[in-house]
Amino acid sequence: MTNNQPMQSVSPVVEVLVQLLGDVPGSDEEIKARRQEVLAAAASFDPSSHQVAQALSSCIKRLRARAAEVRRAVPSRPTEPRPEVVFHERETVLMPPLPERPAPAVERMTWDATERMLYEDVLNLFELGDQAGAMTSLERLVMLNPHAEELATFIEKNGSLLRSLYEEHFGSLDRVPVPMQDAHPIKIPTRYPQVVMDVLRLVDGHRSIRDILKRSVLGEVQTLCSVGHLARCGFLELA
């Protein structure tokens, strides 16, 4: 009995793949052996024994020879020698000198006529032995101009004595200045109210005079004068 069903055609690509895959070694050892066989065959292959291989070999040789001729025909760009630079022979470029900036003018604070009269009063009262009066005038002088150069010179020469006088006047530097809440203090004439307020802010009812001296931005004697004068004018009392 014959089969009348038509036969299906097989693609040439499929046939090639079937042949290639069917010839693939099945193990690693077989693959290594096949690789050695291919390398040995490639090494012993003579292109002249095969017409197509011979034609390809001849074509490759002609292309290589042509490429060599082209490289020889293109002139190479000559390299110009660079002049050697001798650094000590080069001209030194000098920058124009910068003008010197003048030093900022220091503002000098000196006494006016009123302050100088107070200073004379301080000296006269000390000579008369009126230490309390002299200290009161000194405090007014500090309130008017605590940064004057003449005052700084006077305090530098007599700082130890003035500190001893104020320590005796206060009784102890461990006493605590207490701000007065309900009193009506006397207005203090001063050209630098911020300086007076800086000292007054340190008076919180807990800090001693010694602590205030450590925290004040003024000098020690100026701070003692400020505390003494604030107490005289009713801004604070000593506990």
Q: Could you report the per-residue pLDDT of 187-225, keeping only the tens digit for each?
A: 777 888 888 888 889 999 999 999 999 999 888 999 999
Instruction: Please tell me the predicted confidence (pLDDT) of residue 193.
Output: 83
- Tell me the C-alpha distance between 224 and 86, whole Å: 72
Q: What is the mean pLDDT of residues 43-66?
A: 75
Q: pTM of whole model > 0.75? A: no
- Tell me the C-alpha distance between 219 and 234, whole Å: 23
**138-215-180-144 Cα dihedral, nearest 10 degrees:** 30
- Are the beta carbons of 115 and 144 closer than 8 angstroms? yes
All residues at 6 or more sequence positions from 213 whose CB lies less than 8 Å from its CB, including other chains: 173, 220, 223, 224
Q: Where are the domains of the chain?
A: 113-238
Within 10 angstroms of residue 86's Cβ, the number of other Cβ atoms is 7
Q: Residue 225: which of 129, 158, 128, 127 has the closest Cα?
A: 158
69 vs 226 pLDDT, higher one: 226
- Are the beta carbons of 141 and 118 closer than 8 angstroms? yes
- Tell me the C-alpha distance between 110 and 151, whole Å: 9
Instruction: Please tell me the predicted confidence (pLDDT) of residue 172.
Output: 92
pLDDT classification of 234: cutoffs 50, 70, 90:
confident
